[in-house]
Amino acid sequence: MATAQRSRLVGRVTELDAAREALASARSGEGRLVFVHGEAGIGKTRLCQELRATQDPRRTQVLAGRADPGDAATMFSALADSLRAARR
C-alpha cells in the first residue's frame, strides 16, 4: 500500500517559525496562544498540520479549533472549539 506524501510547505516559513517559537516558549513554562486567521484557501489548515507534524505529542499538546464566519457573534469560538476537543 502506497503512503501519501505531504507536499512541501511553501511561503510560510516566517509563520511556521513563529508558531514553533511559541511552542518552545510554552514548553519552557511561558503560556502561549497562537491564532491563525485569514481568508479561505490561504493555507491556515496546512500550516497547522505542518506544525503538528513536527511536534512530539509526548512533550507538547497542540490544540486546534475552528470557527466559521457565522461564529463571529461568539467571541473566541475557535478557542472554545479547541478546548471542547481537548476535553473529549
Per-residue pLDDT reduced to its tens digit, 15-65? 999 999 998 898 888 888 888 888 888 888 899 888 888 888 777 777 888
Report pLDDT for 78: 81
Query: At 5, is the pLDDT very low, low, confident or very high (cuts 50, 70, 90)?
Result: low
The full set of domain ranges for the chain reads 13-87
How far apart, in whole angstroms, are the C-alpha atoms of residue 46 and residue 36?
A: 11
Alpha carbon distance 60, 23 (integer Å): 8
User: Which amino acid type is present at position 83?
Assistant: L
Of the CA atoms within 13 Å of residue 11, those in its CB half-sphere come to 4
Q: Which of 54, 52, 74, 60 is nearest to 26 (CA)?
A: 60
